[in-house]
Amino acid sequence: MKNKKYQFEIEENNVIRAAIAPMGIDFRPNTRFYMGDYICRIYAIMQYPPTQEYGWVSKINNIAGTIVNFTSTPITETNIVEQLSKIINASRAEAENTRDALQRQRKTKTADDTTRLMARMEENNEKIAKFCCTVMVMGNDEIDFEQKCNRVESIISGVGCKLRCLSRMQKDAWKHISPSYAPVELIGDVGNRPMPVNAFYGGFPFQNSGFNDGVGYYLGVDNDGTPIIFDLWKRDGARTNSNISIIGGSGKGKTTLIKHIIVSELIRGTKVIVIDPETEYKAICDMFREDGISRWIDACGGRNGMINPLQVRPKPLSDEEEEEAESKGISELALHLKTLEIFFELYLPELTQIQKALLTKGLIAMYEKFGITWDTSVTFMKNTDFPVMTDLYNTLLEQRKTAEKGVTDDMDKLILLLENITTGADSFLWNGHTTMQSNAQFIVFDTQNMKIMSDAMKSTQYFNLLSWCWQQMSADRSEKVMVVCDEAWLLINPDVPQAMSYLRDTEKRARKYSGALAVATQNVVDFLDPKVKLYAQPVLDLPSTKFIFGCEGDDLKAVSTLYNFTDAQRELVTAGNRAECLMKAGGRSLKLKVQLPEKRLKQLGLGGN
């Protein structure tokens, strides 16, 4: 085999080059110095918060235009106990002797925080070391320099640390940071502060996460190659629900991860319902068909896939509706009428307020004919006990005969608009009793054929499917049900924001059942449209677990703002490497590389991306 020579063009890092081999340095000012073409200033962190959040160092370590240096010094247990005891005694003494209320409060807090640190050492056998953090800011000109200094001071203050400019020590501080010199003792004396070693290591982005829920299934590996074991149903202080959002551009690995989670949940006995816009889940459906637990349904209606919109089903309540239901008792029919209001607004956006009122009046009269009133419980009613669209159409025709003269034109227009859903081209979707059976463990609604439909029909049927899915999720609180909404942006309609509100309320209510809603999309910008943002943004933000694959352009900007990315997290998502994503589970963030065995990849089919 012939040896091949490869040439790589490596982009120069001017900041690092200037720090290692500057053209010249001028240390004349007390609080800054000039290094080549850069204006520089070095700070030291003088105080750390008593408790640190996971990944706190990443917020310091990834500020653009800075070089951050950490040095650590081991401390024996005897020395640290003596030092901490001195801090406690001195702080309490100063608190007692000072007349300044603010100073007294600060010293008391210092004593209390140090006492808690000693307690952690004794109870958890935590190791303590002295850490010194110095931060060098490098600006291209005066304006850039001042802006970066302000940003550094703001970010570091935001994580609970206190920062100090090393006045008259800039030269020693530069030597302390520079790889050409050994750490300077003077800077260590000024900046060394005791801290639990685990708190420091836990502050780095994508550090060895040890993310292991104990039970669950393998997702892939973290940045250090450590396996990640994930349990969708685990709840703790930060993971308050089992919902997940999966975001990413086409071809980044988003669907492969969803498929793997679906198969893993099916193996664990979870009931899974998928709304599939691209026929990507049929291979999994076929795989489980031999076991008799799967059912593939063409969502464009038909003999086995009809879902009657007029069948009274439960509705996920918003917080306001739940409070009203508990105080006043909202009937099942009243709640379903709200669902139908969204349904018809999606299907017939041209309806006027008068026509909507006439439609509601007709619906109520139609249900009365079938013995369904405000007090009726539909729990034990069969699918064939409910009216269909033909019944609604006939009811409106009857009401037209006795309608007041001022509304006859609106009645005529309303009846005309409903002809298509009753006897026309759209009747195959919604005019009939529900034939969809819910006894399969794995159900896939294939919406591929809906592509030829109008946008109004697609969003209406998507909403109809979702309302049926909620019925399955809320039927039995003890049964684990996972609903997967792939390409959920299809529900977004700025003129009918209630559709997104329904999806949001489904997420919020799912946590009170054994339910999980997985929302996947590659169009983040649509969710942040000002007309629907109030309802749509929580759909991506409420889930306790989020997977963000590669994004670009406006979607990258939107997701960065939505999840408040650090520089390191933004870099990961910007890179867009296939099968790599940012995983946010509760309060933790880590890099996930989806690595699946070849056998599992074959099971998932070749359609995943």
Q: Could you read off the pLDDT of 560-600 as tens digits, one per residue?
A: 988 888 888 888 999 989 999 999 998 788 899 998 888 88
Q: What average pLDDT score do residues 325-340 get? A: 78
Predicted pLDDT of residue 124: 57
Share the mean pLDDT of the chain: 84
Predicted pLDDT of residue 33: 93
Q: Give the whole-angstrom CA distance, residue 454 versus residue 472.
A: 28
* Residue 455 Rama label (left phi>0; alpha psi -120 to 50; beta): alpha
**Residue 473 contacts residue 505 (beta carbons within 8 Å):** no
CA-based torsion, 528, 530, 531, 535: positive or negative? positive
H or E stretch covering 328 = helix 319-328
Q: Give the whole-angstrom CA distance, residue 371 versus residue 381.
A: 11
Q: Give the whole-angstrom CA distance, residue 156 versus residue 45.
A: 9
**Residue 194 contacts residue 84 (beta carbons within 8 Å):** yes
**Residue 584 contacts residue 596 (beta carbons within 8 Å):** no
Residue 355 has, within 13 A of its CA and on its CB side, a CA count of 17
Residue listed under structure tokens 């309060």:
587
Residue predicted with more confidence, 59 or 206: 59
DSSP 164: E
Confidence check: pLDDT of 207 > 50: no
Confidence check: pLDDT of 55 > 80: no
Q: Give the whole-angstrom CA distance, residue 607 versus residue 116.
A: 54
Q: What is the pLDDT of residues 428-448, one digit of tens each?
A: 889 999 988 888 999 999 888
Q: How far is it between the farthest Cα atoms of the chain?
A: 97
Q: What is the pLDDT of residues 246-303, one digit of tens each?
A: 999 888 989 899 999 999 999 999 999 999 888 888 888 888 887 778 888 888 866 6
DSSP labels for 22-45? -S-EE--SSS-EEETTEEEEEEEE
**Any idea how long the chain is?**
609
Residue type, 72: S
* Residue 439 Rama label (left phi>0; alpha psi -120 to 50; beta): alpha
Q: Which of 148, 123, 124 is nearest to 135 (CA)?
A: 148
Predicted pLDDT of residue 326: 52
Confidence check: pLDDT of 12 > 60: no
**Residue 594 contacts residue 228 (beta carbons within 8 Å):** no
Q: What is the pLDDT of residues 109-134, one digit of tens each?
A: 777 877 876 776 665 566 778 889 99
The three-state secondary structure class of 504 is helix
Q: Give the whole-angstrom CA distance, residue 502 versus residue 63.
A: 40
Predicted pLDDT of residue 2: 42
Q: Give the whole-angstrom CA distance, residue 48 versus residue 161.
A: 5
Q: Enumerate residues 6+ apart whose C-beta is below 8 A from 388.
A: 308, 310, 431, 432, 433
Predicted pLDDT of residue 1: 41
Predicted pLDDT of residue 489: 78
DSSP 163: E
Residue predicted with more confidence, 490 or 180: 180
Confidence of residue 608 (pLDDT cuts 50, 70, 90): very low
Predicted pLDDT of residue 48: 82
